[in-house]
Amino acid sequence: MPPIIADAEEHFRQLTPPADPLLKELEAEAAREGIPIVGPVVGRLLEILAAGAERLLELGTATGYATLHLARGGRGRVTTVERDASLAARARENLAQAGLAERVEVVCAEALAWLAGQEGPFDFVFFDIEKDDYAAALAACRRLVPPGGLLVADNTAFPDAMPFQRALHGDPGWRAVSLLAFLPGHRPEKDGLTLARRR
Ligand SMILES: C[S@@+](CC[C@H](N)C(=O)[O-])C[C@H]1O[C@@H](n2cnc3c(N)ncnc32)[C@H](O)[C@@H]1O
């Protein structure tokens, strides 16, 4: 097999999806304030993966950057959960500015406690909270995500995500794959992403 192209990272950086003015503003704000948003590549990936989803759930909203992509990609309602009240308020404003306020509910809550009171179903779930909460959130999703539902988890190359990785990959109720990826504009740019389809 021939070697991959020289300077592949630079080449892929050039292929970063373009952003509209609101997304650009949120990217600049996140860089200034050190808010770890998914960035344009994972944003576009979420948009593509969410296509057709009817009930979407995001754990970890921050300013609503990834939420915006989920709402644009999905067909139905998005619920997003953020424990920081000032970030939740900013996300509501940003989503309203994007014309998505009707389709997105920003819940200000501790994700694990909130999940315990939910009935679902959610056919698309995105994890982007503290990584050591992922394993408990996964246990809740066994009940909330029906067969065929998709789970996407960010930052799964972090050591705190290892209990989640072990639980997910050892559970026959999910068909999972974990990737170590180069993700321009993501923080960090080399990180793990995990996708799993509910069986
Ligand atoms: C990485 S940021 C989310 C970024 C966002 N998904 C995006 O890409 O635009 C993680 C957010 O999750 C929130 N968070 C972390 N642990 C949480 C928990 N257990 N419950 C609710 N929110 C949590 C943090 O306050 C933070 O705003």
Q: Is residue 4 part of a domain?
A: no
Q: What are the Cα distances from residue 66, in Å, to 57, 60, 61, 162?
A: 11, 9, 7, 23
Q: Is residue 153 part of a domain?
A: yes
Q: What are the Cα distances from residue 94, in Å, to 33, 61, 62?
A: 16, 11, 11
Model pTM score: 0.98
Q: 63 is written with which tokens?
A: 């300013």
Identify the domain containing residue 92 by its residue range: 37-198
Q: Is residue 23 part of a domain?
A: no
Look over the chain and give the mean of its residue pLDDT values, rounded to a whole number: 97
pLDDT for 12 equals 96
pLDDT for 121 equals 97
Q: Is residue 123 part of a domain?
A: yes
pLDDT at 172 over 90: yes
Residue 179 host element (H or E): strand 174-182
Q: 113 is written with which tokens?
A: 């406690």
CATH number of the domain residue 78 falls in: 3.40.50.150
Q: Is residue 172 part of a domain?
A: yes
How many structural domains are present in the chain? Answer: 1
- Examine residue 188 and say whether the peptide bond preceding it is cis (omega within 30 degrees of 0): yes
Q: Is the CB of 62 under 6 A from ligand 1?
A: yes
Q: Is residue 2 part of a domain?
A: no
Q: Is the CB of 131 under 6 A from ligand 1?
A: no
Residue 188 phi/psi, 5° resolution?
A: -75, 165
Q: Is the CB of 87 under 6 A from ligand 1?
A: yes
Kindly give the distance from the C-alpha atom of residue 198 to the centroid of ligand 1, in angstroms, as a whole number. Answer: 23
Q: Is residue 14 part of a domain?
A: no
Res. 1 pLDDT band, cuts 50 70 90: confident
Please state the rounded mean pLDDT for residues 106-120: 97
Strand, helix or coil for residue 33: helix
For the stretch 44-71, pLDDT in tens is 999 999 999 999 999 999 999 999 999 9
pLDDT for 2 equals 84
- Report the share of the chain in percent with pLDDT over 90: 98
Q: Is residue 77 part of a domain?
A: yes
Res. 117 pLDDT band, cuts 50 70 90: very high
Q: Please state the atom number of ligand 1 nearest to the C-alpha of residue 80.
A: 6
Q: Please state the atom number of ligand 1 nearest to the C-alpha of residue 60.
A: 12
pLDDT at 9 over 90: yes
Q: 74 is written with which tokens?
A: 């999905």
Residue pair 183/36 in contact by the 8 Å Cβ criterion: no
For the stretch 16-36, pLDDT in tens is 999 999 999 999 999 999 999
